Amino acid sequence: MPVTAPQWRFTAAMIQDAPDCRGVYVLWRDGEPLGVGHALGAYDTIRARLLGHFSHACENDLGVTHYSWQICSDPLKREAELTAQLGLDRPSRALPANSNTNTTCRHAESESSSSTT
């Protein structure tokens, strides 16, 4: 998934079209990456993870505006690659502490969707 990949609006209706399988995803706020996450398959799917983030984002007003995703065979490896590519592995970048969710997602600080296979 290139950094410039298309982004989908972060709404419940749009998330329903996300894949129900393993892969990675990126959460965005107005073109800035907020975090990269992974879904390992079975019941842990891209769609399920995004819905979890959507529920949490609505409760905590995190400002997520878009998401992108990619189906891949090794989500953990791809998550690490994207985290580094997007510069989210730098210690100085983190969402506010109240942004903890039930899903794994590496976040970036920024106050402020892609369908490649």
Q: What is the pLDDT of residues 84-96, one digit of tens each?
A: 999 998 654 434 3
For residue 2, name the pLDDT band (cuts at 50, 70, 90).
low
Domains of the chain: 8-90 (3.40.1440.10)
Tell me, what's the pLDDT at 100? 36
Task: Identify the three-state secondary structure at position 6.
Answer: coil
Beta bridge partners of 8: 67
Cβ atoms of 51 and 88 closer than 8 Å: no
The gap from C-alpha 94 to its chain's centroid, in whole angstroms, comes to 14
Q: What is the pLDDT of residues 92-109, one digit of tens each?
A: 443 433 333 333 344 333
